[in-house]
Copies of this chain bind each other. A is one copy, B any other.
Amino acid sequence: MTDMTIGKVADVVGVGVETIRFYERRKLIEQPSRPREGGYRIYSDATVKRLHFIRRAQELGFSLKEIAELLELRDADAPRADASNVQQRAMAKLRDVDQKIDQLRQIRQGLAALVDRCPGQGPLRCCSIFEALEQNAVPASRPTVSEEIGMQTIRLSIGGMHCHGCEEIVRHVLEQQTGVKGCSVSHESGEARVAVDESEISDEQLAEAVRGAGYSANIMNIPE
Which A residues contact B (CB, under 8 angstroms)?
49-50, 52-53, 55-57, 59-61, 73-74, 81-84, 86-87, 90-91, 93-95, 97-102, 104-105, 107-108, 110-112, 114-115, 118-124, 126-127, 129-130, 132-136, 138, 157, 159-166, 168-173, 176, 212-216, 218, 221-222
Contacts and interface: CB of A to CB of B under 8 A. Distances in A.
Contacts of A171: 214
A122 B82 contact: yes
27 contacts: A52-B133, A56-B133, A56-B136, A56-B138, A57-B133, A60-B111, A60-B114, A61-B111, A82-B121, A83-B120, A84-B120, A86-B127, A86-B129, A87-B129, A91-B115, A93-B111, A94-B111, A98-B216, A99-B159, A101-B101, A160-B165, A161-B165, A162-B162, A162-B163, A168-B214, A173-B214, A213-B213
Q: How many copies does the complex hold?
A: 2
Contacts of A55: 136
B135 A98 contact: no
Contacts of A121: 82-84
A114 B127 contact: no
Given A83-B124, A111-B97, A168-B160, A90 B102 contact: no
B107 A104 contact: no
A173 B125 CA distance: 42
B159 A102 contact: yes
A57 B135 CA distance: 11
